[in-house]
Amino acid sequence: MELKGTQKLLIGGEWVSSRSKATREIRNPATLELLGTVPECDAEDVNAAVGAAAAAQHAWWKTPGAEKAKLLREMGARIRKMESELAHLMTLETGKPISESFDCIEWVAACFEYYSEVARRSYGNSVPPVAPHQVNFTIKEPFGVVAAIVPFNFPLLLMSWKVAPALAAGNTIVCKPPHQNPLTNLLLAKVYDVLPPGAVNVVTGAEATGEALIAHPKVDLIAFTGSSKVGRRIASVAGQNLKKVNLELGSVDPFIVFADANLDVAVPGVAWARLLNAGQVCTSSKRIYLVKDIADEFVERLLKHVKSVKVGDPAKTDTDVGPLISSAAADLVERQVAQAVKEGAKILLGGKRYQPGGLKGHYFEPTILVNVKHGSLPTTEEIFGPVLSITVAKDADEAIFMANDSKYGLGACIYTNNLEIAMRAMENIKAGTFWINDPLTDNDAAPFGGMRWSGMGRELGEEGLDAFREPKHVHMDYVMEAKTYWYPYKNRKLPHQ
C-alpha cells in the first residue's frame, strides 16, 4: 500500500498543500516499504493553522453545549464506520499488531462518545455570599487555542484524549501527529469535517514543526505526551510566555508480584503488560519486582511463556509482537541491554535485533533480564522495547520500597489477593494510576496522568475536561449601592475607637 503524492494538511476546514517544500517519507517499520510522503511543515504552515484555530475559537466556544455534544457523538460514530480502514493503516505505519490496532480504534471512538456526555452534565458551583443581596458562582471557560502533540506509540488514542475534551470545553485545536507515523491522524481528520472550519487543524513534521507550534504567541495551552526530556523543554518554552501546559511524560513503571499471587494469572499478565506494542508503552511494566518466595518458579514459567509469544508481521492476526518504530529505537534498546549486562544483569532470553521470517523491519527479540540490581539502568531509565527486567525482593516491604524509589510516577501494577498488602502498596507507591490485579486497563471516566517527573495535569475523566478550561468567579450584587468602606476613610469608625 502506498498513498500517492504528498499528503495535504487540514487548515481552516480545507485540505491544503504545505507552504514548505520539505517532505518526509513514512515507511512500514515491519517491512520498510514506503507508505506515503507528508510535508515537513514550517513556521508559515503553523502560523496558518494557528490563525485558523484562533479565528474559529470564539464562535466554537459560544456554540451551545447540546450542539457540541451532538457533533462529538457524530465524530464517534464516523470513527466506528472507519474502524477497519483506520486499524489497518495504523498497523502498517506503527507496527502495532492488528488486534491491538482494532482495540485502539474502539477506544478512540469511545473517548469522543464519553466527552459528548460528560460535557453536557458539567457545571460550576454556587458560592455562599459574604454580604446581603449578593450572588456568587463559578463558570468554566476554555483557554483558547490548544496545541496537541502526541508520540508514535498510540498516535490516535493519545490525540483523541486531547481533541475530544478540548473541543467539549470550547477550545479549538492544532494537532501535530508524530513525525514517524502521521498518516492515521490525517485519515482520522476526515471526521472533523462535521465541525466548523478551523475548529481542528492538522499539521505534520518533526522537531522544528513542534517548536514553531509551542512558541506561537496565539497558542494558549500545550497538551503534550512524550518523553520527560522533551516535556521539560516544552515547559521551559511555555513558561517564558506563561502558557498553560498539560504534560503526560515517560516513566519506569513498577510491577510487583507478591508471594500469594496466582502465577497462572500473574505470569501471562506481567508478560502482556511489558510486551504490549513491543514494549513501546509509557505505562508498560519496566521494573518487575518478585518477592523471593515465588521468584524462581515465576521466572521459570515466564521464560516458557515468552518463548511462546509470536513475533512477526503485525498485519497477520496471529502475531503477538511487532517491530520497534525505527532503527534508531532498536539501536537504543540494544545499547541499554548491553549497559544493563555491564551493571550485573544476565540475559536469560533474547537481547538483540533480528528479522523474524525474513522481515526487514526494526525487530528486537523479546528479552528477559534477571539479576537486575535495583538502581541499575533498567530500574532508572525507560527502555522503550520488549525487555522484561526482573529484580528479586526479600519480602513485601522491600518490594514496595523499591517500587516507590523512583523519580517517576506514571503507573504501578501489583498482583496480590492480600487486601492489607494491596492497600499498603497503594498508599506507599506514588503513581497516577495504581492497578491491582488488572494491569494497564484504562477507564474514560477516570483521570490519567503522572506524578513526579511523569508529568503534570490529567487526561480522561472530568479532570481531563478541566485540563482544557479555567474557572471564573462571578460576584454580583443585585442592589447597586455605595459601600460604607469606600473613601473617605475619615467617615469610618474602626473597631478600637
Active site residues: 248, 282
Residue located via cell numbers 524509589: 405
Q: Which of 11, 4, 113, 296 is nearest to 105 (CA)?
A: 113
- Is residue 247 within 8 A of residue 448, CB to CB? The reply is no
Q: Which of 305, 330, 333, 309 is nearest to 321 (CA)?
A: 309
For residues 240 and 252, give the distance between their C-alpha atoms in angstroms, rounded to a whole number: 29
Residue located via cell numbers 486531547: 162
For residues 362 and 292, give the distance between their C-alpha atoms in angstroms, rounded to a whole number: 35
Give the angle subtended at the CA of 269 by the CAs of 395 and 184, to the nearest 5°: 135
DSSP codes, 49-110? HHHHHHHHHHHHHTS-HHHHHHHHHHHHHHHHHTHHHHHHHHHHHH---HHHHHHHHHHHHH
Pairing of strands 23-27, 34-39: antiparallel
- Is residue 28 within 8 A of residue 92, CB to CB? The reply is yes
Question: In what order do the strands lie in the sheet containing 172-176?
Answer: 14-16, 9-11, 200-202, 172-176, 145-149, 221-225, 244-248, 455-456
